[in-house]
Amino acid sequence: MDTIVPEALLRRLDVPGPRYTSYPTADRFVEAFGPAEYRQALRQRAEGSTVGGTPPLSLYIHIPFCESVCYYCACNKIITKHHERSAEYLDALEAEIALHVAELGKGQSVSQLHFGGGSPTFLTDEEIGRLMTRLRESFKIVAGAEISIEVDPRTATPERLKSLAGLGFNRISFGIQDFDPDVQEAVHRVQSYDSVRDLVVAARANGFESINADLIYGLPKQTPDSFARTIQQIAELRPDRIALYAYAHLPTRFKPQRRILAEELPLGEQRIKMLGGAIAGFIAAGYTYIGMDHFALPGDALSAARRQGRLHRNFQGYSTQPDCDLIALGVSSIGRMGATYSQNAKTLPEYYESIAKGEFPIVRGLTLTRDDLLRRAVIMAIMCQGRVEYESIELAHLIKFPEYFAAELEDLTPFAEGGLLEINDDSIQITALGWYYVRGVAAVFDKHLRASGNRERFSRII
């Protein structure tokens, strides 16, 4: 699995493509799906729970506030130093939780809970504690649940990590991006290696089961040599997991990116060298390549899930948890309930207005068709297991795989000839090299993408 991918191949595969945290992708959501449709999906789950067999829930809470803007950021966030704004937001979150409890009843089992943003640590320890108390009152957080939070190293302290551990968080993610001072200045995110090291040490001392580090390549003023130094420093910190993202420069869509000087961005050839160097560096440091842009130490649960074929994928990326219904709370957050996807209002005024009316703040979503469910099963098998067994798909969806996907199988032939996958009589198997292009392989089965042919709205695979 830990094969070093040739730079020539990386160069050839450098095209845009979806990340497939869902299928269909979020750009396919429609405004015809609103609060009524979401309420119906919740009721279907509630009715199913009386019979048994409903999956546990996963919860995602979006905290949009940040004290300062990072120029590369494409997240939904609100830049403010006025911490008093969080009080109204917490009130709204608690009201949104109550809306769900009214439909589902109290005590629904939750196996995964994630605080994202923005910067969740914009909230005070007391505010996070208040929210955790309400969540525990409303849901049953099961033993062994993954409870994770994203942390901004610039505003966190070892004392805060101790407090978070005391509140039950057992997984933590640090947004690092790059340690080079010139790059940090160029993207308006300055944080020293020493300060991050102290936080990693504190996280371990306070018993966090898994520590993740986020990195980005392709940022302004980055070079293959400077990024190699960051890779070495990250390897020395030894986080359990690493997420390595490619920067997508889309200033027309994301206003903060307009502050980045295009002439300071590394060229395509340099980006490829950065990615190739990072892959080689992490593998040499003993990390397992999980898939796409994720790495984990061999002893981490994500590596175990990868080896055992238990890897799953949700809106937060790769997960060890089985498929769950996902309740997404807060402005702009995206959830999954049964055979539906839904997204909350993207602005605070819209979000607050819906909550004040006692309505779910859903502004768009999608009810999946039979074909969507079939293709989702195939795409997630590719993204998570790297293998599609025809028989399992045929039995679950009552089709003949070679007939239903005749055009797709034909389009996969060049990938097979290039050594990225093997097409057998009963299966499709991604090769070690093919894992670096797994998004591209999955895209072949994306009916919506095949129909439109428009990939430019997505980030580049390399």
Is 384 annotated as a binding-site member? no
Instruction: With CA atoms as reference, report the closest residue to 31 among 369, 362, 451, 371.
Output: 362
Torsion of CA 192, 198, 203, 207, to 10 degrees: 170
Is 430 annotated as a binding-site member? no
Residue-by-residue DSSP string for 371-387: HHHHHHHHHHHHHHHSE
Is 426 annotated as a binding-site member? no
Is 70 annotated as a binding-site member? yes
Contacts of 460 (CB under 8 A, 6+ apart): 14, 15, 16, 17, 246, 248
* Distance between CA atoms of residues 189 and 121, nearest Å: 16
- CB of 396 closer than 8 Å to CB of 377: yes
Is 150 annotated as a binding-site member? yes
Instruction: With CA atoms as reference, report the closest residue to 20 among 324, 457, 308, 446.
Output: 446
Q: Which helix (H) or strand (E) holds 328?
A: strand 325-329
Is 73 annotated as a binding-site member? yes
Is 334 annotated as a binding-site member? yes
Is 177 annotated as a binding-site member? yes
Is 270 annotated as a binding-site member? no
Encoding tokens for residue 133? 């108390």
Is 125 annotated as a binding-site member? no
Is 443 annotated as a binding-site member? no
Could you list the beta-strand ranges (E) of 41-200.
57-63, 65-66, 78-79, 108-117, 139-151, 171-177
Is 222 annotated as a binding-site member? no
Is 351 annotated as a binding-site member? no
- Binding site as annotated, residues for [4Fe-4S] cluster: 66, 70, 73
- Binding site as annotated, residues: 60, 66, 70, 72-74, 117, 150, 177, 189, 214, 248, 334
- Binding site as annotated, residues for S-adenosyl-L-methionine: 60, 72-74, 117, 150, 177, 189, 214, 248, 334
